[in-house]
Amino acid sequence: MTQGPRLTPLADRLPASVPFVGPEAQERARGRPFTARLGANESVFGPSPRAIAAMERAARETWMYADPESHDLRAALAAHHGIGPEHIMIGEGIDGLLGYLVRLTVGPGDTVVTSAGAYPTFNYHVAGYGGTLVTVPYAGDHEDPEALIAKAAEVGAKLVYLANPDNPMGTWHEAGKVAAMIAAVPDGTLLVLDEAYIEFAPAGTAPPLAPEDPRVIRMRTFSKAYGMAGARVGYAIGAAPMIEAFNKVRNHFGMARISQAGALAALADQDYLDEVRAKVSVARGRIVDIAAANGLSALPSAANFVAVDCGADGAFARRVLTELAARDIFVRMPFVAPQDRAIRISAGTPTDLDRLKRALPEALAAARAFPG
């Protein structure tokens, strides 16, 4: 008799699921492509031309493994942020770094605190290592730092997670409130501060870096503002002992040589980053206008997407999302009430947003005509 795979008891109990169904999988199921890809918070404006050129050059060297220490990129990031390279770890996007961090700190039964409906990939890693996830609700479409800290203290959490700016709502807290949260982290707890969208946020959103502080580890990425989501380059900033611990479990050859070269060139081209910020600001404004023209309200956003309140419940918002997909517009939505009353629309090109403008009134009408 043929045996199935000999999984660990923990793995055997886990559902076979992924945090997100990718647009490519949806296109295969639909049998046709989307005409506007506005759901994954990628930068449709792409990476710096200097980064593209660097990656093209590096392609000739891709027969070699990448530097497992990411020495040059760590040094450049250290200089950019004015900190020591011993406080920086490079990884395969924030998602990869979150996986390593959870592996290092969370064992079966250890408690982790996050917001109900916050970025789900973090939860996926916690479940994968047997952690117990405890959630607190959003407060007025913002993650609630005070409630997160209070719950972490109550349950003795190993980790507490906050995204600032937030995904999926795009809301944010000012630096002082985040600094107060760091100061209140209970003994034995580590704050995971996900700053994937920080380059889009207003000045005064990020507290000053204090990388020697053992209470917090900050996660940043080249996937969003730098337009390199497909290259998978993220980095953590934290106390040197925590950063060094990543070497115990990380895939030392997990970074691609091409990705390292592209990130290094992208970091050096801050003028292009400013251009992207300006384009994203225009696109956010256009999404707000399109929503208003259809009688919908948009939440203020410090990210490269806008959460649009569909004015009813999650079931209605899901119908709107489905009807947009039927019109070849890919968007996503929050998955926990009451945030699931909204759909989340990424900043797009003018052509993308023209298509959204045409499709949204039809999608809303179809969703409203749905029986029940």
Query: Mind listing the domains of the chain with CATH numbers?
Result: 21-46+271-369 (3.90.1150.10), 49-268 (3.40.640.10)
Three-class SS state of 106: coil
The token duo for 105 is 């700190």
Can you give the pLDDT of all 372 residues of the chain as single tens digits? 567 899 999 999 998 877 788 999 999 999 999 999 999 999 999 999 999 999 999 999 999 999 999 999 999 999 999 999 999 999 999 999 999 999 999 999 999 999 999 999 999 999 999 999 999 999 999 999 999 999 999 999 999 999 999 999 999 999 999 999 999 999 999 999 999 999 999 999 999 999 999 999 999 999 999 999 999 999 999 999 999 999 999 999 999 999 999 999 999 999 999 999 999 999 999 999 999 999 999 999 999 999 999 999 999 999 999 999 999 999 999 999 999 999 999 999 999 999 999 999 999 999 999 876
Contact in structure between 169 and 298 (CB atoms under 8 Å): no
The residues facing 160 across adjacent strands are 113, 191
CA end-to-end span of the chain? 50
**Over the stretch 239-290, which tens digit does the pLDDT of each residue have?**
999 999 999 999 999 999 999 999 999 999 999 999 999 999 999 999 999 9
Beta strands in the chain (DSSP E): 36-37, 88-91, 111-115, 132-136, 159-163, 190-194, 216-221, 234-237, 297-298, 305-309, 329-330, 342-346
* Number of neighbouring beta carbons within 10 Å of residue 74: 21
Nearest alpha-carbon partner for 155 in 126, 115, 112, 120 = 112
Residue 203's Cβ-count burial label (10 Å; 0-12, 13-18, 19+) is exposed
